[in-house]
């Protein structure tokens, strides 16, 4: 049931929330928008009817904020899940549901969830601290190289490190609860965006391919589709079915996938929300991931996920060695290019590798898009004043 004039609460107010709000403006019915964030300088601020300053990890901040809302939408998963559960008990609609947030926000629980539900993933063990890691390695229980990922708060490459030797544990390892994963020989990385609306209708976007910065492990470019063989597609379809069977509620799931050298498709991580890998859907698909998520949260039926034209998104990151008030170079040149859409997030300051915006190119083929992306990489720079 669609409820006009309701109060929608966003936790938190970054660029993902900004694009969600922008996507539903054409069908907005006087909904009031509230935002909980750690400060007042965030991308969603111009769209907010009211801003509340508080931590998304604090029980009372989340609970008291949520009580003022009818529907609560999470911009990312690092939110106090106990408060979300209490809000659901009070009859509030929360996207994504607290029981799934508790699974996703802890990498140890998340990996166990894959195993329990026969979702293919890399081999792993769990450790409590660095000392346990060292003891396992000294007793030849670890076959290097491995990836260490902390249970909590890791994203955009944070909380993740490659360990090549016993010595690396001391110099590079985290002294925290972690999973230790075998290193996969990765040939390609994909993103599967799928989900379900409140009426039980399911959807799946064309498989997205991701290309990462070698040093930062942050996404550099995303393509709106990719060429894969029948075997790979059948594995992706099977994973999508298992994800939607395992997560039974309404929501949107962005599933990061690895393709290894043996042709196996493995799940790396799942985000229970709109994702950086779906930015190109604003221009490249009939219904963007952002509009889709708003449709789900507000009770509408799902939109058309089909591709309009091939597209590639280039993420715009703050340049190395630049911290302070932001200065954009080459943006006007990009805006003057045909079928190039510039999205700046309204952040007033930059720092190395901070996500400041993105640019999406649409053309008749991906090859044509790549040619323009190469030009844009040499055109746009984000520095400090």
Digit-coded pLDDT (tens) for 364-378: 999 999 999 999 999
In a domain, 67, yes or no: yes
| Of 347, 354, 352, 344, residue with least CA distance to 326 | 347
Same domain, 169 and 213: no
Query: Of 182, 216, 251, which residue constitutes the final position of a domain?
Result: 182
How far is residue 29 from each of residues 40, 50, 297, 370, measured CA to CA in Å? 25, 17, 14, 39
Confidence of residue 181 (pLDDT cuts 50, 70, 90): very high
In a domain, 2, yes or no: no
Same domain, 63 and 145: no
| Number of other residues whose CB lies within 10 A of the CB of residue 334 | 20
In a domain, 111, yes or no: no
Residue 1 in this model has a pLDDT that exceeds 60: no
Number of domains, the chain: 3
> pLDDT digits over 87-130, tens only?
999 999 999 999 999 999 999 999 999 999 999 999 999 999 99
Alpha carbon of residue 186 to chain centroid: 20
With contact defined as beta carbons under 8 Å apart, do 372 and 310 qualify?
Answer: no
- pLDDT of 205 reads 97
Residue 4 in this model has a pLDDT that exceeds 80: no
In a domain, 340, yes or no: yes
Question: Rounded to whole angstroms, how far apart are CA atoms 287 and 282?
Answer: 7
| Of 84, 357, 80, 110, residue with least CA distance to 256 | 110
Residue 326 in this model has a pLDDT that exceeds 60: yes
CATH classification at residue 144: 3.30.1490.20
Computed over every residue of the chain, the mean pLDDT equals: 95
CATH classification at residue 263: 3.30.470.20
With contact defined as beta carbons under 8 Å apart, do 249 and 196 qualify?
Answer: yes
Question: Rounded to whole angstroms, how far apart are CA atoms 382 and 324?
Answer: 11
CATH classification at residue 53: 3.40.50.20
Same domain, 71 and 166: no
Same domain, 227 and 359: yes
Write the CB contacts of 78 (distance below 8 Å, at least 6 apart in sequence).
Answer: 56, 57, 105, 152, 153, 155
| Mean pLDDT score, 134-139 | 94
Same domain, 32 and 82: yes
End-to-end CA distance of the chain: 49
| Mean pLDDT score, 246-272 | 96
| Mean pLDDT score, 69-92 | 97
* Radius of gyration from C-alpha coordinates of the chain: 21
> pLDDT digits over 286-322, tens only?
999 999 999 999 999 999 999 999 999 999 999 999 9
- pLDDT of 271 reads 94
Helix axes 81-89, 59-66, angle to 10 degrees: 30
Same domain, 199 and 147: no
Residue 207 in this model has a pLDDT that exceeds 60: yes
In a domain, 96, yes or no: yes
Query: Of 52, 70, 104, which residue constitutes the final position of a domain?
Result: 104
For 290-311, give one letter per residue: b (16+ CB within 10 A) or e: bbbbbbbbbbbebbebebeebb
Same domain, 170 and 203: no
The pTM of this model reads 0.94
Confidence of residue 46 (pLDDT cuts 50, 70, 90): very high
In a domain, 115, yes or no: no
In a domain, 110, yes or no: no
Supply the range of the domain harboring residue 345: 186-384
Same domain, 89 and 228: no
Q: Residue 219 in 3-state DSSP?
A: strand
| Mean pLDDT score, 49-73 | 97
| Mean pLDDT score, 240-252 | 95
Same domain, 205 and 325: yes
Instruction: Find the helix or strand (DSSP H, E) in which 20 lies.
Output: helix 15-24
């Amino acid at each position: 049931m669609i409820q006009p004039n309701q109060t929608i609460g966003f936790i938190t107010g970054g660029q993902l929330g900004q694009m969600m709000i922008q996507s539903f403006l054409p069908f907005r019915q006087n909904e009031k928008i509230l935002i909980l964030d750690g400060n007042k300088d965030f991308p969603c601020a111009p769209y907010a009817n009211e801003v509340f300053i508080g931590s998304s990890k604090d029980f009372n901040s989340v609970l008291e904020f949520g009580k003022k809302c009818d529907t609560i939408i999470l911009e990312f998963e690092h939110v106090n899940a106990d408060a979300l559960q209490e809000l659901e008990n009070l009859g509030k609609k929360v996207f994504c549901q607290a029981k799934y947030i508790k699974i996703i926000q802890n990498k140890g629980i998340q990996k166990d969830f894959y195993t329990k539900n026969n979702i293919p993933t890399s081999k792993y063990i769990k450790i409590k601290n660095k000392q346990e890691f060292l003891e396992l390695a000294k007793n030849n229980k670890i076959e290097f190289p491995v990836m260490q990922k902390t249970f909590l708060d890791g994203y955009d490459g944070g909380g993740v490190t490659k360990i090549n030797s016993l010595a690396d544990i001391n110099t590079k390892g985290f002294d925290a609860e972690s999973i230790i994963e075998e290193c996969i020989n990765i040939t390609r990385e994909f993103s599967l965006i799928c989900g379900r609306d409140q009426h039980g209708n399911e959807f799946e976007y064309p498989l997205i391919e991701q290309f990462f910065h070698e040093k930062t492990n942050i996404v550099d470019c995303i393509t709106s589709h990719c060429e894969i063989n029948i075997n790979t597609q059948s594995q992706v379809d099977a994973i999508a079915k298992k994800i939607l069977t395992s997560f039974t509620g309404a929501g949107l799931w962005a599933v990061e996938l690895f393709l290894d050298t043996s042709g196996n498709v493995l799940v790396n991580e799942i985000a229970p929300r709109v994702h950086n890998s779906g930015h190109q859907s604003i221009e490249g698909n009939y219904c963007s991931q952002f509009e889709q998520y708003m449709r789900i949260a507000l009770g509408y039926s799902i939109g058309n996920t089909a591709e309009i034209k091939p597209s590639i998104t280039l993420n715009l990151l703050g340049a190395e060695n630049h911290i302070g008030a932001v200065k954009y170079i080459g943006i006007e040149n990009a805006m003057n290019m045909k079928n190039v859409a510039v999205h700046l997030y309204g952040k007033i300051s930059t720092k190395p590798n901070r996500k400041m915006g993105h640019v999406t190119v649409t053309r008749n083929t991906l090859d044509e898009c790549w040619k323009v992306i190469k030009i844009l990489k040499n055109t746009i720079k984000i520095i400090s004043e």
